[in-house]
Structure 1
Amino acid sequence: MDNHINAQDNYITGKLPWRERLSYGASDFACSFTFSLIGTYLMYFYTDVFGISAVGTLMLVARVIDALDGPFWGIMIDHTHTKWGRSRPFLLWFNAPFTIFTILCFTTPNLPMTWKIVWAYVTYIGIDVLYSAVNIPLTSILPSMTADPDERVVLSTIRSLFSNFGGTLISVIALPLVGLFGGANNPRRGFFWLAVLAALVFFVIYLFVFANLRERVQTRQSQKPLPIKTSLKALKRNWPWLIVIGLNFVYWLGMQTKGQVTIYFFKYNLQEPGLVSLALFFNAVGLVSVFLTPYVVTKIGKKRTLLGGLLISIVGQLILGLGAWTLSTVTVILGTIVGNFGNGFVGALIAVLLADAVDYGEWKNNVRAEGIVTSASSFTAKFGMGLGGAITGLLLSIGHYVPNKTQTAASLFSIEANYVWVPLLALVLSFILILFYQLTPNKERIMRQELNAKHQKEAAEDAAFSN
């Protein structure tokens, strides 16, 4: 076993070195830098550049398949036992495949329409499945890096900061780079070389991340493969986990519908296509709230911080709706800024709540299954995103959207509904869900005390046995 991993490591209940903190954050910079390119621009690329239709169906099918593979990766993580740990090996094994498929998604072979659609299905499903393979381990490894609740918030905050920055950066520079690489008349070539750049950034960073992360929280169960039947016991009566997976479903459904029509909204509704990069730049506002999250959590707790973030996001979405109604670019930008500030708190805390759900599963059911607990949450998030993609395609179809043409009133409203009203409904439902979250600070304190006592007892017994 890696000599950095042992039950007596001082970092288990204390602060981790900054090299490791920054590596954990860099992992989600890489993920967001590549996958935000796909989430924000791939639908537009398919309809307006590659020239294929029935994109909504493609998005739904791909996301459903991807959602189903989430538990598979979780089971694989729980069943993995290497000298590097359970989650960490996946960061190395699937680095290159994800890099290759990122490029293939924006490759446009000269094919008949039927085969173009087949190519889109294969590459999009492939990138979704491989994204789960490289991203789920980032969440499942968190409860194994440290048992300190404050350090988990710090790690998740750093990860969210990097994620927000990576997603904002690629969103802002994407279209200018497409123009630079492809010129004014060749967006196919421009998107291809942009994908190559994003893929190379991901590949290099993930090698660095793999080299620096460590899995320290080792229990008897984590040092051997877990049977599937045993892993599933961690979900029994795991109420914090149920709330988080519900949140993941509705929240990411709304964010998906909004994100993938951003370019449509500014191009057709506001008739300001040049402002797309500026609007996406304001995603960076979320960096401020992410940075503030650890401080706010210490003052009012995780639940209230999350509810506050959702409430701010709801207000921002309402302002956005006013801007869409009045066609006021200034009001739309203001709503974007307010909404992104709220979203920063939400993004920073979801991974922390999942890590708490891992502990809760062990506390209540005596089963520590990082993989199945975190991947099941990924399942609902991806399914929500898939449904969001299908809703986008359905509404565009109902509105009779035609690429690169002057849109009808019905088409413009379908774009507005995706950008404003579906996300607003998702945020309201997310707020209601978190009202039922019952892992109070006092209950969490008792849980951690009992788990720490259990782990110390196991370590002492194992040490005595080995001697």
Structure 2
Amino acid sequence: MADNIKTTINKNDRRLPWNERLSYGASDFACSFTFSLIGTYLMYFYTDVFGITAAAVGTLMLVARVIDALDGPFWGIMIDHTHTKWGRSRPYLLWFNAPFTIFTILCFTTPDLPMTWKIVWAYVTYIGIDVLYSAVNIPLTSILPSMTTNSNERVLLSTIRSLFSNFGGTLISVIALPLVTLFGGPNNPRQGFFWVAVMAASVFFVIYLVVFFNLREHVQTRQSKKALPIKTSLKALKNNWPWVIVVGLNFIYWLGMQTKGQVTLYFFKYNLDRPGLASLALFFNAVGLISVFLTPKVVTEFGKKKTILFGLGLSIAGQLILGVGAQFLNITTVIIGTIVGNFGNGFVGALIAVLLADSVDYGEWKNGVRAEGIVTSASSFTAKFGMGIGGAITGLFLSLGHYMPNKTQTPAALFSIEANYVWVPLVALVISFILILFYRLTPEKETEMTRYINAKHAREDLEDSI
């Protein structure tokens, strides 16, 4: 009996083959390659290409966040209720691949409509892509605790995922505008954005098929082999303080990142009068690849909490430098601030999914319920909710500053752009830093939890086999 228990523990705690590791990373390359196109360029596309007012776009993003308050938990509950031969999370990578691909293209499709129907079109397509992104992205986080219980392996998997995600987001950010000009010419950005969306969506579709066929859910527990009632799933959240802190971090951090990312083009075009440098600034997102690559070693040396605090500290310093550059319109200082901030962001992005996976274990250890779907659905939900509120803040600020597309901007409009690019993200980063100070899940407690959970799963497997 002891040998059988030991075998199960080793199976759940094992290292994964490289085809699974790389496929897990490729999944977020695909997500970032498409959704960064939306997050970075869609507001600019709506205001300066499709012709919708900034106020209408801000309202759209706020309404979409209200819907997110329902769709995030909905997908988490659906995952916990799913029981197939492929597992709980993995089927969603197949089922919603094509719908997400189609809506990515529709978001950048510009039918010739009156203004009211343009706004309706934007509502349908943006909310559609938002809901479908949850359907394809939440399973990536919920599947992580089901792939392995090995803490070091989870850090490695999340690091690989963040490397691929950072690369995918940086790549599309840098090549999008040149491709828009290539596909549409200098005077037809509508056509250019459409074909860029077709290209990005096609990349996503192919990669997600590969990811579906390669990933596996190795950690099969008594609870994961059956559908969990909602009431049972929610028990995993009771007194789950690591989860509460990570959810708060995810919301406020991505709110700040979204306000900054979606006004990058505005800032370089109007504040610095150097629109050609926007792609260069977005290229420096790749600096985060270095810190992501260093994350496993830094975590081994200092632990997850100190690593993420270090990353947030660097991000705050980067924003302060960026603020100086914005005040004096000094491009060199702006670039230095961008590099420092992106280096810090790499550590943060690499560890958020790991902390969420740990909170799944904490919920099982604390409450006896392993509910990957409802616990990790908070990742996509709170990130998207934060990004949406960030989008609404951007729209509100631009509207209050009386921003007018493709015109010389007033001082009020320029300040509204600067506030979104520098000061709102800075406040969000400071709040994120304070939140992590209260994170109390120590390496010693993680080891205790892992031993308990692996032994529990092994006993259940043995009992079920008798």
Q: TM-score range by the shorter chain?
A: over 0.9
Letter in 2 for 1:124: Y
Q: 1:222 is paired with a residue of what secondary structure?
A: coil
| Per-residue deviation, 1:11 | 4.9
CA contact (8 A) 1:78 1:225 kept: yes
Contact residue 138 and residue 379 of structure 2 kept, 8 A: no
- 1:217-256, aligned counterparts within 5 Å? 217-256=219-258
Residue type at the aligned position of 2:19: R
Q: Distance in 2 between matches of 1:222 and 1:99?
A: 29
Q: In 2, Cα distance between the equivalents of 1:96 and 1:244?
A: 31
Displacement of 1:381 after TM fit?
Answer: 1.9
Indicate which of 169, 175, 193 corresponds to 2:195.
Answer: 193
Distance 2:68 2:283 in 1: 29
Q: Is 1:52 aligned to residue 55 of structure 2?
A: no
Structure 2 residue 303 is matched with structure 1 residue 301: yes
Contact conserved, 2:9 with 2:455, CA < 8 A, in 1? no
Residue aligning to 2:167: 165
SS of the equivalent of 2:236 reads helix
Number of the residue aligned with 2:421: 419
Q: TM-score, normalised by structure 1?
A: 0.97
Aligned partner of residue 127 in structure 2, secondary structure: helix
Q: Distance in 2 between matches of 1:378 and 1:175?
A: 27
- 1:230 maps to amino acid: T
The answer for the alignment partner of 1:16 in structure 2 is 16
In structure 1, the residue matched to 2:4 is: none
Structure 1, 400-409 or 439-448: larger mean CA deviation = 439-448
Moved more, 370-379 or 135-144: 370-379
Given that 1:313 and 1:340 are in contact with CA atoms closer than 8 Å, whether structure 2 keeps it comes out as yes
Amino acid at match of 1:389: G
Quick one: distance in 2 between partners of 1:146 and 1:463? 21
3-state SS of 2:303 partner: helix
- Within 5 Å, give how 1:47-196 maps onto structure 2: 47-53=47-53, 54-196=56-198
3-state DSSP of counterpart to 1:401: coil
Distance 1:15 1:449 in 2: 16
Q: CA-to-partner distance for each residue in 1:317-375, whole Å, 9 max, x for gaps?
A: 00000000010011000000000000000000000000000000000000000000011
Task: Quote the Cα distance in structure 2 between the aligned partners of 1:11 and 1:105.
Answer: 43
Identity in percent: 83
Deviating beyond 3 angstroms after TM superposition, the runs of 4 or more aligned structure 1 residues are 7-11
State the SS of the aligned residue for 1:221: coil
CA 1:463–1:425 in 2, change beyond 3 Å: closer, same or farther? same
Answering whether residue 315 of structure 2 is matched by residue 310 of structure 1, we say: no
Contact 2:137 2:380 in 1 (8 A): no
CA contact (8 A) 2:287 2:343 kept: yes
Task: Measure how far apart 1:12 and its partner are.
Answer: 2.4
For the Cα contact (< 8 Å) 1:250–1:429, is it kept in 2? yes
* Mapped contact 2:9–2:454 kept (Cα < 8 A): no
* Corresponding residue number in structure 2 for 1:33: 33
Structure 1, unaligned runs of 5 or more:
1-6
Separation in 2, partners of 1:273, 1:194: 19
Deviation at 1:379, TM superposition (A): 2.1
Shift of 1:314: 0.2
Structure 1 residue 444, shift from structure 2 partner: 1.2
Equivalent residue number for residue 291 of structure 2: 289
Paired position in structure 1 for 2:3: none
**Alpha-carbon distance in 1 for matches of 2:84, 2:57:** 41
Question: Does the 8 Å CA contact 2:9/2:458 hold for their aligned counterparts?
Answer: no
Q: Which amino acid aligns with 1:31?
A: C
Equivalent position SS for 2:440: coil
Q: Could you give the per-residue CA deviations for residues 132-159 of structure 1, whole angstroms, max 9, x where no partner exists?
A: 0000000000000011000000000000
Equivalent pair of 2:295/2:347 in contact (CA under 8 Å): yes
Q: Distance in 2 between matches of 1:249 and 1:118?
A: 27
CA shift digits 1:221-267 (9 cap, x unpaired): 00000000100000000000000000011101100100000000000
1:67 touches 1:382 (CA, 8 Å); kept in 2?
Answer: no
Tell me if structure 2 keeps the 8 A contact 1:13–1:148: yes
In the alignment, the residues of structure 2 paired with residue 463 and residue 169 of structure 1 have an alpha-carbon distance, to the nearest angstrom, of 49
Which position in structure 2 is the counterpart of 1:430?
Answer: 432
- Alpha-carbon contact 2:59-2:392 (below 8 Å) kept: yes
Q: Please state how far the C-alpha of 1:205 moved relative to its aligned partner.
A: 0.1
Equivalent pair of 1:64/1:386 in contact (CA under 8 Å): no
Q: Which amino acid aligns with 1:358?
A: V
- Alignment-mate amino acid for residue 265 of structure 2: I
Q: Number of residue pairs matched?
A: 458
Match of 2:209 among 189, 202, 207: 207
CA contact (8 A) 1:168 1:281 kept: yes
Deviates more, 1:13-22 or 1:282-291: 13-22
What's the CA shift for 1:10? 5.5
Taking the aligned partners of 1:372 and 1:265, their CA distance within structure 2 comes to 38
Deviation at 1:13, TM superposition (A): 1.3
Question: What's 1:3 paired with?
Answer: none
Deviation at 1:9, TM superposition (A): 8.7
Report SS of the residue matched to 1:405: coil
Query: Contact 2:257 / 2:425 at 8 angstroms: preserved in 1?
Result: yes
Q: In 2, distance between residues paired with 1:377 and 1:285? A: 24
Deviation string 1:62-119 (CA, Å, 9 cap, x unpaired) is 1221232000000000000000000000000000000000000000001111000000
Gaps of 5+ in 2: 1-6
Q: Secondary structure at the match of 1:235?
A: coil
Q: Shift in Å at residue 60 of structure 1? A: 1.0
Separation (CA, whole Å) in 2 of partners of 1:213 and 1:393: 39
- The 8 Å contact of residues 353 and 379 in structure 2, kept in 1 or not, is answered as no
Where 1:185 maps in the other structure, the secondary structure is coil
Question: What TM-score, normalized to structure 2?
Answer: 0.97
Secondary structure of the 2:180 match is helix
CA distance in 2, matches of 1:28, 1:93: 17
* Distance in 2 separating the partners of 1:67 and 1:40: 22
In the alignment, is the contact (CA less than 8 A) between 1:67 and 1:378 conserved in 2? no
Q: Distance in 2 between matches of 1:401 and 1:303?
A: 41
